[in-house]
Amino acid sequence: MSKTNTGNFFEDFKVGQVLTHATPRTLTDGDRALYQALFGSRFSLQSSDEVARAVGYAQSPVDDLLAFHVVFGKTVPDVSLNAVANLGYADCRFLKPVFPGDTLSTISKVIGLKENSDGTTGVVYVRSTGRNQRDEIVLDYVRWVMVRKRDKASPAPETDVPKLPATVDVAFLEVPAHTNFKNFVLAASGSEHLWDDYAVGEKIDHVDGVTIEEAEHMMATRLYQNTAKVHFNQFTEGQGRFGRRLIYGGHVISLARSLSFNGLGNAQLVAAINGGRHVAPCFAGDTIFAWSEVLDSAPLEGRDDLGALRLRTIATKNLLCANFPGALEKGYVEGVILDLDYWVLIPRR
């Protein structure tokens, strides 16, 4: 019996199967510093203990997406080690802030399966739940991933595609307890634009571009202990359909979020991801741009210090966003690589 893990193939998954993922991870100030070095995020709540204390935190929380990637990374050896591509996300809620010193672990449940028509791959749907050392759920989300089959002749499972909500209802957004953003320091963020200043339908070109370097995306993926072959192994990927390694889709999400600071500088917290699609692959050397559209704006029950904005952020590669290229009736403009629908929490007047 082999002592090594070759990962699960499509035929190894069963609906209802529970996967307890290895290697709990204690986050440190070093992790957050490296994350900031990789993506350049400038949101003041995650950058400054003093800003965080002013609104009621004991210290500055780690970036919401750093917590997301660490929880995600735990799942890779069991869910997507043999993936062709990660396809999308839904029903993702950020339920508790994560701080340096917290230890995160992940459990996933298989909630759907669908074999693809060519018989060589299938789509696996999982709900993954991240918990801290107190067994509190910090993050819960669904993703679906295309996974290779071990044997094309293996019989296809019965198709079972889960019904997922189009959006996370505002009523289910978690607002950090014991906080008061009326005390939020605007000078620290460098932006005067608050929740009240954004209109539904408004589009924001985030202007800046960032070129992805090979070493950066591999370092970032290692930071999350994500072991997917498509990101690391040029020997195998060089023989694949692209001839090179793929950039981890989460790397693009984090870059787009960091770029969004220019125009959304007070959108301090990611509360939920309604849905996301990696539209096209991304490679080292590509330059990433982003723009956002305000899809909805909602007050939060019992809070007069924070409001919620539903954003759609589009990331492109080697394509300026001045004309806001997005989804067309029959597809996407060439160069679009990410379409992300999510809720952020932003201080209000």
Alpha-carbon gap, residue 246 to 235, rounded angstroms: 13
Q: What letter does residue 54 receive in the DSSP assignment?
A: H
Task: Note the pLDDT of residue 228.
Answer: 83
Q: Work out the average pLDDT over 30-34.
A: 96
φ, ψ for residue 348, nearest 5 deg = -120, 165
Instruction: Output the six-digit token pair for 130.
Output: 């991240």
Alpha-carbon gap, residue 171 to 155, rounded angstroms: 42
CATH topology of domain 15-150+186-347: Thiol Ester Dehydrase; Chain A (3.10.129)
The yes-or-no verdict on residue 241 having pLDDT over 90 is no
Sorted by where each begins, the domain ranges of the chain are 15-150+186-347
Instruction: Output the six-digit token pair for 137.
Output: 């759920």
* Per-residue model confidence as pLDDT tens digits over 38-92: 999 999 999 999 999 999 999 999 999 999 999 999 999 999 988 888 888 999 9
Integer angstrom CA distances of residue 232 from 13, 229, 297 = 24, 5, 40
Alpha-carbon gap, residue 337 to 282, rounded angstroms: 7
φ, ψ for residue 183, nearest 5 deg = -95, 10
Q: What letter does residue 194 receive in the DSSP assignment?
A: -
Q: How many CB atoms sit inside 10 A of residue 186's CB?
A: 14
> What percentage of the chain reaches a pLDDT higher than 90?
84
Rounded to a whole number of angstroms, the CA Rg of the chain reads: 20
* Per-residue model confidence as pLDDT tens digits over 174-229: 999 899 999 998 999 999 999 999 999 999 999 999 999 999 989 999 999 998 88
Yes or no: say if 327 and 335 are a contact pair by the CB < 8 Å rule: no
Task: Note the pLDDT of residue 329.
Answer: 65
The yes-or-no verdict on residue 336 having pLDDT over 70 is yes
* Per-residue model confidence as pLDDT tens digits over 269-313: 999 999 999 999 999 999 999 999 999 999 999 999 999 999 999
Q: How many CB atoms sit inside 10 A of residue 221's CB?
A: 22
The yes-or-no verdict on residue 328 having pLDDT over 80 is no
Which residues fall within 8 angstroms of residue 311, CB to CB, at 6 or more apart?
260, 264, 267, 292, 293, 294, 295, 340, 341, 342, 343, 344
* Per-residue model confidence as pLDDT tens digits over 136-165: 999 999 999 999 999 999 998 999 999 999
Q: Could you tell me the pLDDT band of residue 233, with boundaries at 50, 70 and 90?
A: confident
